[in-house]
A and B are shown apart, each in its own frame.
Chain A
Amino acid sequence: MMGDRLRFHSVIRNTGPKPVEGLTTWINLLEVDPGNEQPMDLEDWSAHKAVTRAELPPGKTLESEWLMRLIKRGVYRVVICVASRNRRRVFTSPTVEFRVTQKPVVQSRRILPVAFGVPLMIGLIMLLRRFCPYRVSETTDTLLMLCVAFFFFLMSRRSGAHPLGG
């Protein structure tokens, strides 16, 4: 689901007889939704995009962890690529496919009560101050604010969202 994090693990082994110099490993993300196939810009998906190593001796391995945050719904494939300074060929891993499901991030049932409720509350307080004596209006201000706070609490329970978190 959007907002979740996926962790990919890659292992690169030098099976040749010579050391590999100037090794660069990077992660690629490809969207494969029908009609919307495109490579994705990883900027917001992952802060960890490449790993470099000066030399990988024969028989040694380079293990890397790739953490990715799921930003947008769709079907994606991840592939790890490896290139070295001395060889022109780029090696790629098998692809891993995953689906990101939609998560409602902006809900009208959360926004509408706030967008109309807050100005209404301030307007009511101003009216109360206009028509009630100071001490009475002070008490009603407090009561009104408590009612509004309780209303927001109920709304947050109804919308299933924690008041301070996703």
Chain B
Amino acid sequence: MNPVFLIARKEAGRLLLDQWALAWLLAFSAVLSGFALLLVSNAELSLLDNAQVVYMMAGTVMSAGAIVAVILGCDAFAGERERCTLTPLLLAPVSSRELLLGKALGVSAAWGAAYLLAMPYLWAVGAGGQDLVQAIVYLALFGTPVVLGFGCLAMAFSAKTGNVITSLVTSLIILLLAASPLLIGPGLRGTVIGRMFDALNPFAAALNTFDAVVIDNETFTKQLVRLTVTFVWLGITFAVAYCAARRPRFR
């Protein structure tokens, strides 16, 4: 079997097939369930509120997916080093590119599982409203490069520092900064700096797209710049991770 798929299968197996591995999915579903249950208490929502709920659910799924990707990315090299398994892995007939791709595919599998798990929730809160299909499609299209980009960034830190805690804290702080549009409304981001930050921030690009598509019904062509931002983000972080993974810290 191709070493990339072998590593990816091992990584995905750790997350999905191990006896207690599903605990993270249970926690993930508990978060989405809590959010969905909060909505039940509001008996009468307008269509706009409903679209807002779908938008918030999509944002929550992407944020949680990014956190999972960051944690897995931090474990990719530094975790192997701390478990004393990195040196044997580097001595195996596997190139650094294959190792990185295998780890990245493992992160993708986790994101895929989280995305699939979010489907019933998106349906439950959004089926009576507007453009649920668009929310699902755009979450895949924009959420995937953002989440995998954070996974790659965490892998880069993990390979360079060789320390899980350091890379985890660093990556989470960067994720917190990027995810600030979830907490800070568009009004407070209306300054020049806020607009520049929004234009460069892949997380904001994805969130603004969910807003534009789900709430404002904008077309796909208007989202192309934002889509480019998210894929440039993925490309840059993958390149950084690739450079870092060529000479990981293993001592």
**Residues of A bordering B, CB below 8 Å:** 2-3, 44, 47, 69-73, 102-108, 110-119, 122-123, 125-126, 129-130, 152, 156, 159, 161-166
Q: How far is the CA of A59 from the CA of B250 in the complex (A)?
A: 83
Known: A73-B46, A102-B44, A115-B36. A166 touches B127 (CB 8 A): yes
- Counting CB contacts under 8 A, is B37 at the interface? yes
Bound Cα distance from A46 to B127, whole angstroms? 22
The 3 closest A-B pairs by CB, nearest first: A105-B50, A72-B46, A115-B33
In the complex, what's the smallest C-beta–C-beta distance from A62 to chain B, in angstroms?
Answer: 25
A44:B128 contact, CB within 8 angstroms: no
Interchain CB contact under 8 A, A114 and B127: no
- Beyond A105-B128, A156-B123, A165-B132, list 7 extra A-B contacts (CB 8 Å): A105-B49, A110-B124, A112-B37, A115-B37, A152-B123, A159-B127, A166-B131
Label chain B's interface by main secondary structure.
Answer: helix
* Nearest opposing residue in chain A for B131, CB measure: A166
Q: Are A166 and B36 in contact (CB under 8 A)?
A: no
What residue of chain B has the Cβ atom nearest to residue A126's Cβ?
B22
With an 8 A cutoff between CB atoms, is B112 at the interface?
A: no
Tell me the count of chain B residues lying within 8 A, CB to CB, of chain A.
43
Cα distance A163–B121 in the bound complex, in angstroms: 11
Chain A residue nearest to B117 in the complex (CB): A118
User: In the bound complex, do residue B46 and residue A71 qualify as a contact, i.e. CB atoms below 8 Å apart?
Assistant: yes
- CB pair A111 B128 closer than 8 Å: no
Rounded to whole Å, the gap between the CB of B136 and the closest CB of chain A is 7
Q: Which residues of A contact B20 (CB under 8 A)?
A: 126
Q: Which residues of A contact B132 (CB under 8 A)?
A: 164-166
How far in angstroms is the closest Cβ of chain A from B17?
9
| B125 in contact (CB, < 8 A) | yes
> In the complex, what distance in Å separates the CA atom of A118 from the CA atom of B37?
13
Interface residues of B in 58-84 (CB under 8 A from A): none
Check A2 against B46 for contact (C-beta < 8 Å).
Answer: yes
CA distance A47 to B218 in the complex (A): 9
A123 near B26: Cβ-Cβ < 8 Å: yes
How far is A69 from B36 in the complex, measured between Cα atoms in Å? Answer: 25
Residues of A within 8 A of B37 (CB): 111-112, 115
Residues of B within 8 A of A3 (CB): 47, 129-130
Using A70-B47, A105-B49, A123-B26 as known contacts, say yes or no to A115 and B124 having CB atoms under 8 A apart.
Answer: yes
Most buried by A among B47, B129, B130, B133: B47
CB-CB under 8 A from B130, the residues of chain A are 3, 69, 166
From residue B216, how far is it (CB to closest CB) to chain A in Å?
7
